[in-house]
Amino acid sequence: MIRPALVALFLAPALAGLPVRAATVYVASQQGAQVTRVEAGAVVGHATVAEAPATVAAGGGSVFLSHPDGHAITVTDAATGVVLRRLPYRGQAFGLAASADGRTLFVADWSGHRVDRLSAADGTVEASAETGRDPAHITLDRAGRLYVADRESHQISVFETERMTRLATISVGTAPFALALSPDERRLYVGNVRSNDLTVIDTQALKPLTTVPVGPMPYGVSVSPDGARVLVTNQQAGTVTVLDAGTLAIAATVGVGRYPEGIVIEDGRAYVANWFSDSVSVLDLATLKEVARLPVAEGPRSLAVAAAAKEILR
Amino acid sequence: MRLSLLVLPLALAATAALAHGPTPQKVSQSISIKASPDAVWKAAGDFAGIGKWHPAIGKAEGSGSKDGGTRTLTFKNGGKLEESLDEYKPEGRTYSYRMGEPNLTALPVSSYSATFTVSPEGAGSKVEWMGRFYRGDTGNEPPENLSDEAGKAAMNAYFSEGLKGLKAAVEGGKSK
């Protein structure tokens, strides 16, 4: 359910007859300490940030980066890449999720085994919850529920974010790392890095439905906007597995670069961060072929899409 | 959580083995060998045969060169590591594998996955050994001997010394 204020914010430019901006894909390069902006399959800009960013998340016109070894979170302007401020963080910040209005940030503390809700303005910790061991990636749904992949507890922790209380603990495969919601948010897909499989969770019942094999070390998961396909990056094989979301049958395996990690889908294309190759593979979802490989700064791992105004209008 | 170095190995055994931290590092080494790719693969393609050419390894035993195959390495320094194959592709003269439980004596790292490939290069071969590892102490205040830099130094030395050993074994025509 989209908040009325947010709808007005996005409708205003269109109603005023202004051109609606295309969505931007942000790629965070860990060793290169840069964020690269990609639009419609091409690099449009990049910005240097503080050392060793791991995860990138977008919300409300801001782009956020976690620095696990730097006790900080960088906040940049989504349009220009300019660093606006750095939020201090006492723990080992890894997984990030931002509210749609960009005012609230959720941060998973890897070695602190917790997830914090921060004010994106100054980093004040508003509320906290204990997770399982080694929380990796996290994702927020429109109802304000937060899902956390507890990598060494082999489970997903689910929290409501008003008071950060635990709603459920869901067993998955071995070493869950990345996770993605279907567009209707009724399904959560979780990649299990050590059991080389994908767990599908019913988010209404908050229970696992099934687990299916994928390639070795599934470090990234993304779902197509029509909900029809689930894409999984297989780090040890340098491939992406494309599954039919309905049958969970494997529709294709696409070769990408070396040691791929994160994957996002935007406007008919999948973008895959090839961590070892220092590039981003662009896959055409209609043909399931790699159509471009974009050079980026060293060690790209994580990608995020800034929701475009045109998406809200659909 | 800070632990003294003496306590750390015990703590690693007691808590999540196979765990890694949030910031991986690259390792990549290559070498040219004056022999055909098939000749090099004959020596290097035997997953558990690494003990015959790697100077740091005292003994290696394995369950087979195939997907899911494993090998146990006993380092000359006494450390032991088990590794398992994710993909073994003899047609491409390449295999990818991952580390089991860490052993900081063997290598000061908490986790790694790696790929070993033999390719034609001119009249001879190029061997590439590359991978992704996480430092020995996965917290964000690691001691220097378990830091990213220490891990990089150790992994790069381990790979490069191994490749030099392989080159000597193949070009010299006999195992070490």
Q: How confident is the model at residue B21 (pLDDT cuts 50, 70, 90)?
A: confident
Measured CA to CA in angstroms, residue A87 lies from A56, A94, A194, B113, B159 at distances of: 14, 14, 33, 33, 39
Say if the Cβ atoms of A217 and B21 lie within 8 Å: no
Measured CA to CA in angstroms, residue B165 lies from A87, A223, A234, A298, B134 at distances of: 49, 46, 31, 30, 25
Between chain A and chain B, the number of residue pairs with CB atoms below 8 A apart is 68
pLDDT, tens digit, 9 for 90 and up, residues A228-244: 999 999 999 999 999 99
Task: Give me the residue spans of the domains in chain A.
Answer: 4-313
ipTM: 0.86
First-to-last C-alpha distance (Å) of chain B: 43
Q: Chain A contact for B68, CB < 8 A?
A: no
pLDDT, tens digit, 9 for 90 and up, residues A19-42: 455 799 999 999 999 999 999 999
> What topology is assigned to B23-172 in CATH?
Alpha-D-Glucose-1,6-Bisphosphate; Chain A, domain 4 (3.30.530)
Q: Chain A contact for B30, CB < 8 A?
A: no
Q: Kindly state the DSSP code that residue B175 receives in the 8-state scheme.
A: -
Say if the Cβ atoms of B96 and A111 lie within 8 Å: no
Flag residues of chain A having pLDDT under 70: 1-21, 307-314
Q: Chain A contact for B1, CB < 8 A?
A: yes
Say if the Cβ atoms of A259 and B87 lie within 8 Å: no
Q: Which residues of A touch B21 (CB under 8 A)?
A: 68, 92, 110-111
Give me the sign of the Cα torsion angle B99, B104, B110, B116: negative
Residues whose CB falls within 8 Å of the CB of residue B165, separated by 6 or more in sequence, listed in order: B53, B54, B55, B176
Interface of A with B in 48-87 (CB under 8 A): 52, 54, 68-69, 71
Say if the Cβ atoms of A54 and B22 lie within 8 Å: yes
The beta-carbon neighbor of A110 closest among B21, B98, B130 is B21
Q: Chain A contact for B140, CB < 8 A?
A: yes
**Domain A4-313: CATH class, spelled out:** mainly beta
Mean pLDDT (chain A) is: 93
pLDDT, tens digit, 9 for 90 and up, residues B26-62: 999 999 999 999 999 999 999 999 999 999 999 999 9
pLDDT of amino acid A165: 98
pLDDT, tens digit, 9 for 90 and up, residues A220-276: 999 999 999 999 999 999 999 999 999 999 999 999 999 999 999 999 999 999 999
Report the gap between the CA of B176 and the closest CA in chain A (Å): 31
Say if the Cβ atoms of B130 and A68 lie within 8 Å: no
pTM of structure = 0.90
Q: Which residues of B touch A175 (CB under 8 A)?
A: 18
